Amino acid sequence: MDRKIRVVVAKPGLDGHDRGAKVIARALRDAGMEVIYTGLRQTPEQIVNTALQEDADVIALSILSGAHNYLFPRVMELLKENGADDILVFGGGVIPEEDIPFLKSKGIAEIFGPGTPTSVTVDFIKEHVKLNLENK
Amino acid sequence: MIAGDVSATSVSFSASDAAYAKYATLAEQCKAGNVRAIARLITGLENEERAAYAALNRFVGNGAVAQVIGITGPPGAGKSTLVDKLVARFREGGRRVGVLAVDPSSPFSGGAILGDRLRMQRHATDPGVYIRSLASRGALGGVSRATGAAVQVLEAAGYDIIFVETVGVGQSEIDIVKIADCVVLVSVPGLGDEIQILKAGIMEIGDIFVVNKADRDGADRVVREIRGMLETQYELSKGEKLEAVPDTLAGRLVAAAGEMEHHADVHAFDDKIPPVVKTVAETGYGVAELADAIADFFAKASESGSVTDRRIARARVQIKDLVAEHILERIENGPGATALNEMAKRVVAHKTDYYSASMLLLHEILLQEGAGGNDEGVKT
């Protein structure tokens, strides 16, 4: 049995719009991944605990509320505290260009803005998870 | 085969084996309640890594005993919401709760959307709760192949109550009976008439019946119909030996799998017709009654010893399945492959017949095992 890539798709913060998250969940499913969908309004603590319990390789964060500069680094911080910062974390949603370098400096691997073809995200995950496993 | 190099229960893995060592360490960490170790060991089991299964021998003698509750029923019946409410209920009593929630894998991509825990996320930050989503990965019985082993992991990790939520089932996905001590069958109004309830399969495996979404029209009718079905069953079984009515309740499906003999009476109603509980999971209506019914089931079952007997019956089936699996594996991958080829040629050349060839092959494999052949190493 080949190893399935497990992805937690989460919506941190308070915005109630999860169409993007659902689209990405669906695309990852069709790419053969196991997607754990947590739904709306998740705290960083919920997201990180979920990733630990689910043995996730990847956390995909979708956010539209503008709180990414707080919530994304908080997720990274909690992962580190739990010795789980090997988990690949990327973001999507409405995130201004100028915030991206800051988020990357905090350990977010990539930000995929609106209009990113889902195949780009799929390829990105496959490439990075493979590297991650090789380095383990 | 039973080499005794790690412990009396180890199977063909030596302690120096790297893959085994990795999982053995995880197993030890599981016993200390390490969440990441639990998660990783379960992943190894899901990926069918033999070393992960072998490392379960670390739990022998651990002594932890959990109550395993299966929650099954059709898609959209409210199983996840009900589990969420039950988890909260059992947490109030201070019990540690594990949840294994199975959702279907796509037969096309192999991927899956695992959405059960969506309804349970309020428990994500409770250290007394562990929730794991499992994809069915091609298994058709309502649970994945690794589910039973994952239950063992959670039990060893000290979870007192383990809920196993099946995929949404239809009429005949009943593998949950091979895993759960107590099966809760969740139904909803509006699925069909009385004849659906009379049909064989899923309706026969409930220890407790739930009619969820009971605020909808027709709920009382469904309750009446289920009760009617159960009472008829009870009347039929009363006064006769239960062996004569081999068509009710969980363990008897195990029996159908070829194992029961003296266990036939174990799966009786314990002199009681299974309860039918009305719930509205969304609001929490009836959840207290359901939790009481579950507690009541275990109280009675432990008094009569029927949980242990069920577990023994299940263990027999599982050991038998594993033996068959090992033998097949040895034929397909081990030195048996050459012998198999040889036998096949001989059969085709009319030098022997199928039956004799199979017996010879079996003999040959067992001889090799007896010679201490740990010949294929670890495959991961």
Q: Which residue has 């979708």 as its token pair? A: A62
What is the number of other CB atoms lying within 10 angstroms of the CB of residue A121? 20
Is position A43 within any domain? yes
Whether residue A30 is contained in a domain is answered as yes
Q: Token pair for residue A131?
A: 């590297």
Least confident of B93-97, B155-159, B200-204: B200-204
pLDDT of residue B137: 94
Confidence of residue B47 (pLDDT cuts 50, 70, 90): very high
pLDDT confidence bin for B380, thresholds 50/70/90 = very low
State residue B94's pLDDT score.
Answer: 95
Q: Which tops the pLDDT comparison, B190 or B184?
A: B184
Cβ-Cβ contacts under 8 Å, A37 against chain B? 113-115, 118
A7-11, B31-35, B119-123, B302-306: range with lowest mean pLDDT = B302-306
Mean pLDDT of B179-208: 83
B139-153, B318-332, B366-380, range with greatest mean pLDDT: B139-153
Q: A14, A71 in Cβ contact below 8 A?
A: no
Closest listed residue to residue B167, CA positions, set B115, B215, B229, B103: B103
Which residue, chain included where needed, has tokens 């990790």? B157
Query: Is the pLDDT higher at B133 or at B328?
Result: B133
pLDDT band (50, 70, 90) for residue B238:
low
Write down the pLDDT at residue B128: 97
In a domain, A1, yes or no: no
CA distances, B225 to each of B199, B214, B268 (Å):
12, 14, 20
**Stretch B171-175: mean pLDDT:** 83
Percent of the residues in chain B that have a pLDDT greater than 70, as a whole number? 81
Position B250 pLDDT exceeds 60? no
Question: Which residue of A lies nearest to B98 if distances are taken between CA atoms?
Answer: A53
> Do the Cβ atoms of B211 and B187 come closer than 8 Å?
yes
Q: Where are the beta strands (DSSP E) in chain B?
A: 67-72, 97-103, 112-114, 129-135, 161-165, 182-187, 208-211, 276-278
User: Could you give phi then psi for residue B355, rounded to 5 degrees?
Assistant: -60, -50
Confirm or reject contact between A136 and chain B (CB < 8 A). Answer: no
Residue of B nearest to A33 (CA): B111
Please indicate whether, in this complex, the C-beta atoms of B39 and A55 are within 8 angstroms of each other: yes
- Mean pLDDT, rounded, for B72-97: 96
When mean pLDDT is compared across B59-73, B97-111, B319-333, the lowest value belongs to: B319-333
- Residue A133 has a CB neighbour count (10 Å cut-off) of 12
For chain B, domain boundaries: 1-62, 64-303
Domain CATH for A44? 3.40.50.280
What pLDDT is recorded for position A121? Answer: 96
Nearest CA to CA, how far is B214 from chain A (Å)?
Answer: 26
List of chain B residues whose C-beta atoms are within 8 Å of the C-beta of residue A50: 117, 121, 124, 131
Task: Return the CATH class of domain B64-303.
Answer: alpha beta
* Measured distance CA(B72)–CA(B81) in Å, rounded: 12
* Chain B residues close to A52, C-beta within 8 Å: 35-36, 39
Q: pLDDT (tens digit, 9 = 90+) per residue, B283-330?
A: 999 999 999 999 999 999 888 888 888 889 888 888 888 888 888 888
Q: Which residue of B has its CA nearest to A21?
A: B113
Amino acid B267: pLDDT:
39
The distance of Cα B28 from the centroid of its chain, to the nearest Å, equals 23
Q: Which residues contact A72 (CB under 8 A, 6 or more apart)?
A: A12, A61, A63, A89, A91, A103, A106, A108
- Window 116-135 of A: residues touching B by CB (8 A cutoff) are none
Residue-wise pLDDT tens for chain A (136 aa)? Answer: 568 999 999 999 888 888 889 999 999 999 999 999 998 999 999 999 999 999 999 999 999 989 999 999 999 999 999 999 999 999 999 999 999 999 999 999 999 998 899 999 999 999 999 777 766 5
Per-residue pLDDT at A7: 98
Size of chain A in residues: 136
pLDDT of residue B260: 37
Domain that holds residue A30: 6-135
The predicted pLDDT at position B190 comes to: 84
Quote the pLDDT of residue B261: 37
Nearest CA in chain B to A8: B114
In the predicted model, what is the mean pLDDT of residues B179-207? Answer: 82
Q: How far is CA B262 from CA B266, B301, B364, in A?
A: 8, 17, 34
Dist CA A58 CA A51 (whole Å):
8
User: Which pLDDT score is estimated for B219?
Assistant: 93
- More confident site: B236 or B247: B236
| Contacts (Cβ under 8 Å, ≥6 apart) of B359 | none
Task: Give me the sign of the Cα torsion angle B343, B347, B348, B350.
Answer: positive
Nearest to A30 among B39, B109, B133 (CB): B109
CA separation for the pair B14, B9 (Å, rounded): 12
Residues near A6 by beta carbon (within 8 Å), at least 6 away in sequence: A33, A34, A35, A36, A54, A55, A56, A57, A58, B43
Q: What is the DSSP letter of B212?
A: -
Q: How far apart are alpha carbons B227 and B223 in whole angstroms?
A: 6
Cβ-Cβ contacts under 8 Å for A92 (sequence gap 6 or more): A20, A24, A60, A61, A62, A63, A111, A112, A113, A116, A121
If you average pLDDT over each of B123-137, B238-252, B305-319, B351-365, which comes out highest? B123-137
The token pair that represents A30 in the structure block:
């069709």
Segment B266-272 mean pLDDT: 47
Asked if the model's pLDDT at residue B197 lies above 80, the reply is: no
The pair of structure tokens assigned to B168 is 């949404």
Amino acid identity at B76: G
- Got the DSSP string for B140-196? -SSS-TTHHHHHHHHHHTT-SEEEEEPPP--SS--GGGGT-SEEEEEE-TTS--HHH
pLDDT-based confidence at residue B336 (cuts at 50, 70, 90) = confident
Please state which of the ranges A80-89, B128-137, B173-182 shows the lowest mean pLDDT: B173-182
More confident residue, B244 or B183: B183
CA-nearest of B187, B309, B326 to B254 is B309
Domain count, chain A: 1
As a whole number, the mean pLDDT across chain B is 84
3-state SS class at B74 = coil
Give the residue with greater pLDDT, B84 vs B13: B84
Q: In Å, how far is A97's CA from the nearest CA of chain B?
A: 30
User: How wide is the angle at C-alpha B319 spanned by C-alphas B162 and A2, nearest 5°?
Assistant: 70
The pLDDT value given to residue A90: 97
CA distances from A117 to A30, A88, A113 (A): 14, 19, 10
